[in-house]
Amino acid sequence: MTPNEIHNRDVPQIVESIIRPMLEEAGGDTTDILVVLETVITGVMLYCVLDGGDDEVGDALLERVKVRLAELRARRKAKNN
C-alpha cells in the first residue's frame, strides 16, 4: 500500500474523531472546525517547512487542496448520478 492510499483510507476516520465530538459534545461550529484545521496546518508546517519557505509551501498546499476538492466533488457527483 502506498502512503497516499494509507492516508486516503485513514484520514476520514481521524477527521471524524476530531470533529464529531467538537460539534456534538462541545456545541462547536464551522469556525471551530476551521481553527482546528489552522492549528494542524501550522503544526505540520512548523515541523517540515524550512524558515522562509512558508509562502511557497502555503500557496502550493492551498492549490492542491483546491484540486483535490474538485476531484472529490466530481467523483461524488458522478457516483450520485
The share of the chain scoring above pLDDT 70, in percent, equals: 100
What's the pLDDT band for 60 if we cut at 50, 70, 90?
Answer: very high
Alpha-carbon distance 34 to 1, whole Å? 30
Whole-structure pTM value: 0.73
What whole-number distance in Å separates Cα of residue 80 and Cα of residue 9?
21
Domain map (residue ranges) of the chain: 1-48, 50-81
Helices (runs of H) and strands (runs of E) counted in the chain: 3, 0
Q: Quick one: average pLDDT of 57-61?
A: 93
